[in-house]
């Protein structure tokens, strides 16, 4: 996000509306929703049956409520508290939060970083160059060891229930590897195609590709040839 410490996006909802108007964002959102429903239809349901929701509540022993008076805040103080809570800055102490605009920010400043994704892949694969890390990741896709690689990139995957672990690992790898491949193509003359999605790129001839989707397809089919062919194509002139 463009907002740094001490800043909050004053046009968040307008920026979300702009993003949803992007056909690439809409396409990806529809795909992600469909995949989530296929993996875990109960969790994806808007309103599970009341009986099921009540049965899923944890048993918590009764506790004494704090008898200290509750501090009453005015509207400005409550808004400030909510913003700090959303931005995880409650521990930072009091101080004015400055507004900033997502729609006027430098494009992609608030999106996942290609550099961070490439760095995470290098660490997970034990390699020193992004090209080698990407090649190792594509090998893992084809030899079936990609779930372990995804767990190395994001250890929280290992703690998920077995039903969700594979889907989460696929999402992690698609996100990181998709960004890394996008970065290599951008270095070779491709351009970003969407303000809101870093891994959607446009070739010098006008072809638009969603690299995250291509990685997910490679995982599903067990072949990374389309990605290898993209990376092996001649360097385009800028």
**Domain identity same for 15 and 87:** yes
**Domain identity same for 27 and 81:** yes
**Domain identity same for 210 and 115:** yes
**Domain identity same for 123 and 97:** no
**Domain identity same for 78 and 146:** no
Q: What is the pLDDT of residues 141-159, one digit of tens each?
A: 999 999 999 999 999 999 9
**Domain identity same for 96 and 205:** no
**Domain identity same for 83 and 16:** yes
Q: What is the pLDDT of residues 153-207, one digit of tens each?
A: 999 999 988 888 999 999 999 999 999 999 999 999 999 998 899 999 999 999 9
Q: What does the pLDDT read at residue 88?
A: 65
Q: Does some domain include residue 67?
A: no
The CA distance from 82 to 109, in Å, is: 24
Collapsing DSSP states into helix, strand and coil, what is residue 191? strand
Task: Indicate the pTM of the whole model.
Answer: 0.74
**Domain identity same for 98 and 174:** no
- Dihedral-angle region of residue 222 (phi above 0 means left; psi in -120 to 50 means alpha; beta otherwise): left
**Domain identity same for 14 and 45:** yes
**Domain identity same for 226 and 124:** yes
- Expressed in percent and rounded to 5, the helix, strand and coil fractions of the chain are 55, 5, 35
Number of domains, the chain: 2
Instruction: Show the domain range for 96.
Output: 1-54+73-106
């Amino acid at each position: 996000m463009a907002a740094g410490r001490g800043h909050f996006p004053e046009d968040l909802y307008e920026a979300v509306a702009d993003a949803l108007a992007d056909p690439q964002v809409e396409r990806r959102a529809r795909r992600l929703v469909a995949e989530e429903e296929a993996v875990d239809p109960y969790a994806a349901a808007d309103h599970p049956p009341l009986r099921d929701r009540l049965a899923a509540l944890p048993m918590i022993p009764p506790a004494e409520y704090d008898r200290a008076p509750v501090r009453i805040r005015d509207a400005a103080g409550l808004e400030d508290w909510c913003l700090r809570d959303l931005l995880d800055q409650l521990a930072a102490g009091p101080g004015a939060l400055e507004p900033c605009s997502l729609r006027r920010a430098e494009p992609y400043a608030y999106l996942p970083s290609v550099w961070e994704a490439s760095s995470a892949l290098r660490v997970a694969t034990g390699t020193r160059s992004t090209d080698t890390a990407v090649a190792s990741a594509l090998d893992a896709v084809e030899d079936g060891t990609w779930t372990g690689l995804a767990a190395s990139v994001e250890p929280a995957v290992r703690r998920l229930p077995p039903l969700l672990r594979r889907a989460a690992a696929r999402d992690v790898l698609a996100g990181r590897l998709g960004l890394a491949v996008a970065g290599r193509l951008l270095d070779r003359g491709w351009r970003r195609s969407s303000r809101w999605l870093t891994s959607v790129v446009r070739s010098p001839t006008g072809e638009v590709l969603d690299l995250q989707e291509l990685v997910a397809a490679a995982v599903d089919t067990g072949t990374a040839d389309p990605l290898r062919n993209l990376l092996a194509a001649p360097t385009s002139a800028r």
